[in-house]
Structure 1
Amino acid sequence: MTSAGTEPQPTPSPTLADRVLGGWLGRIAGNMLGKPVERGEVWTRERIDAYLRRAGALPLTDYLPEPATDEDRALLRPEWRQCVRGRIHGSCRDDDVDYAVLGLDLLERHGFGFSTEQVGDLWLLRLPYLQTFTAERAAYRNLANGIRPPLTATYDNPCQEWIGALIRADIHGWTCPGDPRRAAAQARRDAVLSHTGNGVYGAMFAAALVSAAFTAPTVRAALDEALAVVPASCRLARTVRRVVSLHEAGLSWEDTLVTLDGETAGLGWIHTVPNAAVLTAGLLYGDGDFTRTVALTVRGGLDTDSNGATAGSVAGVLSGAAAIPAHWKDPLEDTVRSAVFGFDGVRVSELAERTVRLTEAERLSPVVMDAGGTGHAFG
């Protein structure tokens, strides 16, 4: 209640540092939320909701509950014991967070003008082979056998359009706040080590989406900015626009995803395109609310931990860390478990501070244009 003659003061916008920390916390929390039910061929939307219903956890507003039956317990990924309510003490190790950490290390070592070859060299130096999967493992194997980019992405690699490059993209959005095109250009240089086609476009889209979230007034505005950086005719862009159109037409979240299931059938649960549909639906129907966004995204199925991580990052940037409910942040205990050499046990707050320092240093650096029209800082 305000006194007579006074007006309520508007809530101040989050600072850059608070938005970056929100992105890191959101990515980790969303990843932890989706990790136990990551197997998309087993954990369909229907099965996830049945699990939640048996445990009395619908609507979903917190980390997943303990499994209510032995059958549920047997189907969860083994990491569930570190990821469900009451058992979380810091983040569990996962590639969706490892690549954000590795991306930070890349930019600290090589700056914003890094090359694709330097991405590969850092993988070999910092990332254990057995902690890579699908397209990343194929590219890693090719690197170890002396093959250089871009052949690392195409030689003996059946996963070129899967979701791996998209999950590596957040760091490029966090370090290019409000500059989606530059974020997408950085993400492309990273992605072509292991991906082609929609796999690369997914990384560009995700980086631009995170970048746009720093300044866009709404989720829809951020999505529009992200769509502008990828070819309008590519399947990823057509699928994202389809989700947007169904949302605008007033379809429910469930009906939107059922429609997209039919239109992306046959691509598989780790392919970039159907996962982009789940991510976009979670963001639109979540409408800027952190809890609703990550909950709907994970309930959407497919690659639940990757989608939850990206949705959490976007929602965390939009709201800022201070606005993320405490029950998502406090169990993380400001601690990251990571397979990236030299980073296990690092503080989330330290990662965010280092990200902000990179961003601010880039803003103060003189920039020249290279032959491809991409701006690079000296130094």
Structure 2
Amino acid sequence: MTPPGTPQGPRTAERILGGWLGRIAGNMLGKPVERGDYWTRDRIDRYLRLTGALPLTDYLPEPPPGSAADFELRPEWRSCVRGRIHGSCRDDDVDYAILGLHLLETHGFDFTTEQVGELWLLRLPYLQTFTAERAAYRNLTAGLKPPLTATYDNPHQEWIGALIRADIFGWTCPGDPARAASLARRDAVLSHTGNGVYGAMWAAAMIAAAFTATTAREAVETALTRVPASCRLARTVRRATALYDAGLPWSDALTELDRETGRLGWIHTVPNAGVITAGLLYGAGDFTSTIALTVRGGLDTDSNGATAGSVAGVLCGASGIPPQWTRPLEDRVRSAVFGFDGARIGELANRTARLAAATPAGAGA
């Protein structure tokens, strides 16, 4: 039996597919410019103007000849710019969604944090982990157990890594943000503390809420009820909402958010949550506008684009995502997770939908 009010049926499955496609497309859009200390908002927009890509309505164009000195794209750019995409690139923002799916299929919704760590060691190569995840992985191999895996010799405890792992818990708990946040917390504490954990809870709850919300704003605000009201992440999300309500243009709102949170660094959860929130609010329910504004917002562009794309994809469903974002993916995803490289996106979504339909009432609470 599913919890009262939980959506089920073909429309839910189509929204789950929209979440997967949105996450992958948003990740691919932001990947070439992922390096927030170099790819500032100004540099991103200068690149888009140089290549005639403003307004941004498709994947990034490839750099024109002779521009490399001013615009140094990530090495993977040749596989994720317009005209060169044939299936998704490998990226940790997608690897963790796949690993989370495998976790729930293997251990169910009563999984433990220790089982999350065991699955990392079995399925995820060490060199494909970064920041807090790499510290936790190293601690696991040294025999440490949670919560020490998150706190020992780990200066990245509040960075964005746990947030990017949260989508699967939202997709499998449609309409139940409380349960989604609880599951995300159990995963996140392997590697994160404080706002790093709250970011994962907020993202999972927001995605779960998007199945029944009528607007992105409703999903954002519902998700805020699942994290402490006084935490810095919640205050930043509320601040982004207030700036939007005050009528500030998108760029001015991000300038203000950067003034207040920028010193935390471009991979910290809090400033990135502000960029995601602004993208969702100013995107006004349009999938293309949402991921374009989010990526143009800078900081951790591929992670932010992925999360905003997931929320927007659930809101509009797979059929509501314009084909320029989905057709180049060719229903195929590259992954470093052992056994999943070359998986079909549609099959991953179908497996996710089966988990969502089978979730017992109160699971993960």
TM-score greater than 0.5 by the shorter chain? yes
User: 1:72, 1:196 → 2: CA distance?
Assistant: 39
Which residue does 1:63 correspond to in 2?
59
User: 2:95, 2:305 → 1: CA distance?
Assistant: 15
Which residue does 2:206 correspond to in 1?
209
2:248 pairs with 1:251: yes
Aligned partner (choices 130, 135, 140) of residue 137 of structure 2: 140
CA displacement, residues 82-128 of structure 1 (integer Å, 9 cap, x when unaligned)? 00000000000000000000000000000011100000000000000
CA displacement, residues 145-177 of structure 1 (integer Å, 9 cap, x when unaligned)? 100100000000000000000000000000000
User: 1:137, 1:298 → 2: CA distance?
Assistant: 25
**Is the alpha carbon distance of 1:240 and 1:229 closer, same or farther for their aligned partners in structure 2, counting shifts above 3 Å?**
same
Displacement, 1:361?
1.3
Which residue does 2:337 correspond to in 1?
340
2:153 pairs with 1:156: yes
Q: Structure 2-normalised TM-score?
A: 0.96
Of the two, which has the highest radius of gyration? 1
The code of the aligned residue for 2:54 comes to L
The code of the aligned residue for 2:124 comes to L
Displacement, 1:368?
6.6
* Contact 1:30 1:311 (C-alpha < 8 Å) held by counterparts: yes
Which residue does 1:117 correspond to in 2?
114
Which residue does 1:22 correspond to in 2?
18
Which residue does 1:35 correspond to in 2?
31
Displacement, 1:266?
1.2
User: 1:58, 1:250 → 2: CA distance?
Assistant: 22
2:278 pairs with 1:281: yes
* Contact 1:188 1:200 (C-alpha < 8 Å) held by counterparts: yes
Which residue does 1:329 correspond to in 2?
326
* Contact 1:208 1:229 (C-alpha < 8 Å) held by counterparts: yes
Which residue does 1:81 correspond to in 2?
78
User: 1:20, 1:89 → 2: CA distance?
Assistant: 22
2:45 pairs with 1:49: yes
Which residue does 2:128 correspond to in 1?
131
Secondary structure in 2 matching 1:276: helix
Displacement, 1:49?
0.3
User: 1:265, 1:304 → 2: CA distance?
Assistant: 15
2:279 pairs with 1:299: no
Displacement, 1:286?
0.1
Aligned partner (choices 212, 217, 220) of residue 220 of structure 1: 217
* Contact 1:120 1:143 (C-alpha < 8 Å) held by counterparts: yes
**Is the alpha carbon distance of 1:166 and 1:245 closer, same or farther for their aligned partners in structure 2, counting shifts above 3 Å?**
same
User: 1:57, 1:259 → 2: CA distance?
Assistant: 25
- Runs of 5+ consecutive residues of structure 1 not aligned to the other structure: 1-12
CA displacement, residues 6-28 of structure 1 (integer Å, 9 cap, x when unaligned)? xxxxxxx9800110000000000
* Contact 1:14 1:320 (C-alpha < 8 Å) held by counterparts: no
2:336 pairs with 1:360: no
Which residue does 1:6 correspond to in 2?
none
The code of the aligned residue for 2:119 comes to L
User: 1:164, 1:142 → 2: CA distance?
Assistant: 16
2:206 pairs with 1:200: no
The code of the aligned residue for 1:63 comes to Y
Secondary structure in 2 matching 1:70: coil
Higher relative contact order structure (alpha carbons within 8 Å, sequence separation ≥ 6): 2
* Contact 2:179 2:362 (C-alpha < 8 Å) held by counterparts: no
| Identical counterparts, % of pairs | 76
The code of the aligned residue for 1:34 comes to G
Displacement, 1:348?
0.1
The code of the aligned residue for 2:26 comes to G
The code of the aligned residue for 2:259 comes to G
Secondary structure in 1 matching 2:263: coil
User: 1:34, 1:237 → 2: CA distance?
Assistant: 24
- Runs of 5+ consecutive residues of structure 2 not aligned to the other structure: 1-8
Secondary structure in 2 matching 1:314: helix
Which has the higher mean CA deviation after the structures are superposed, 216-225 or 152-161? 216-225
**Is the alpha carbon distance of 1:368 and 1:20 closer, same or farther for their aligned partners in structure 2, counting shifts above 3 Å?**
closer
**Is the alpha carbon distance of 1:236 and 1:69 closer, same or farther for their aligned partners in structure 2, counting shifts above 3 Å?**
farther
* Contact 1:232 1:238 (C-alpha < 8 Å) held by counterparts: yes
User: 1:128, 1:295 → 2: CA distance?
Assistant: 31
Q: Over the residues paired in the alignment, what is the CA RMSD in angstroms?
A: 1.3
2:217 pairs with 1:241: no
**Is the alpha carbon distance of 1:278 and 1:14 closer, same or farther for their aligned partners in structure 2, counting shifts above 3 Å?**
farther
* Contact 2:216 2:280 (C-alpha < 8 Å) held by counterparts: yes
